Amino acid sequence: MPKIKRIDHIALVVEDIDEALHFWRDALGLELDHLQDVPREKSAIAFLPVGGSEIELVQPTSPDSGIAKYLEKRGPGMHHICLEVDDISGMLDQLRAKGVQLIHEKAVNGENGKKYAFIHPRAAFGALVELYELP
Ligand code: ZN
């Protein structure tokens, strides 16, 4: 049976990563691991490790990106929580069997051999949940 292992990251939408770092890095004292441009998603991402997990700041880099639309509609704040699972395909099968609504029916191949899929927030009581299987 597929198993959830830990929280991989919590993602927050921000208007401006540099400004958000005044809080997350400078005031809280978290370390900025790296900044990354994600042209495919028209966004920029900052990672701040916390224990074995990470805070991920996501900033839109184009007004027509999905993240920009989300920001316009909902404002900055929580975007999604990502759980690491040992067998993402098995977990998607299990969720489907339990009638859970998925955004991705199959795991998507991400960078560095990661596989990911999103569960619909309607199925998760308002929270957008991402699943990760790490290589
Ligand atoms: Zn994520």
Cβ atoms of 111 and 39 within 8 Å: the answer is: no
Ligand 1 centroid from CA 10, angstroms:
7
Residue 107 in tokens: 């795991």
pLDDT given at position 63: 92
pLDDT given at position 110: 87
CATH number, domain 4-133: 3.10.180.10
pLDDT in tens, the chain (135 residues): 999 999 999 999 999 999 999 999 999 999 999 999 989 889 999 999 999 999 999 999 999 998 999 999 999 999 999 999 999 999 999 999 999 999 999 999 988 899 999 999 999 999 999 999 999
Ligand 1 centroid from CA 82, angstroms:
6
From CA 52, how far away is CA 132, in angstroms rounded?
Answer: 14
Ligand 1 centroid from CA 54, angstroms:
10
Ligand 1 centroid from CA 24, angstroms:
17
From CA 61, how far away is CA 37, in angstroms rounded?
Answer: 9
pLDDT given at position 24: 98
CA 113 distance to own-chain centroid: 16
Going by DSSP bridges, is the β-strand pair 129-133/115-119 parallel, antiparallel, or unpaired? Answer: antiparallel
Determine if the pTM surpasses 0.85. yes
pLDDT given at position 115: 97
Cβ atoms of 13 and 67 within 8 Å: the answer is: yes
Ligand 1 centroid from CA 120, angstroms:
14
- Residue 25 backbone dihedrals phi, psi, to 5 degrees: -95, -55
From CA 97, how far away is CA 37, in angstroms rounded?
Answer: 36
pLDDT given at position 111: 81
Residue 23 in tokens: 């809080």
The owner of tokens 């619909």 is 120
Ligand 1 centroid from CA 102, angstroms:
15
